[in-house]
Amino acid sequence: MNYKNIFLLILSLFFCSVVIFSAQFNTTLAATTTAATTTESNSTVVKLSNPLGTNSVPTLIGRIIDAILGIVGSLALVMFIYGGFTWMTASGNEQSVTKGKNILMWAAVGLAVIFLSYALVKFVIKAIGA
């Protein structure tokens, strides 16, 4: 499998997850949107609920950071799979074995950074009272 096919596979998985997430968001948005119309002197009032689900900016920022960290965590999983695949298909080639081990090692380091940043973000969000 060459790098172009691997890149296309990762890209298609990313876009599939985006489509699934957006479909879920649109369903939730449609369920929470209420349209109440009243007729008073030829005027129509439409009331929509807040689609963000919060009026607090720190909570919104926390949700965005959680989503980003979730995507980065998924990328770490993909790197673990790619590193294992590279190592297992090395066929005794020492350079490919080293490459696979390095990918796995740096994916583990990246995952540790992701966990630490997640903990730090949660701590800061709770500290500012969101």
pLDDT value of position 63: 82
pLDDT value of position 48: 78
Q: What is the pTM of this model?
A: 0.56
Q: Enumerate the H helices of the chain as residue ranges.
A: 3-32, 57-88, 94-127
- Percent of the chain residues topping a pLDDT of 90: 22
- DSSP state, 41? T
Measure Cα distances from 70 to 4, 66, 75, 77 in Å. 25, 6, 9, 11
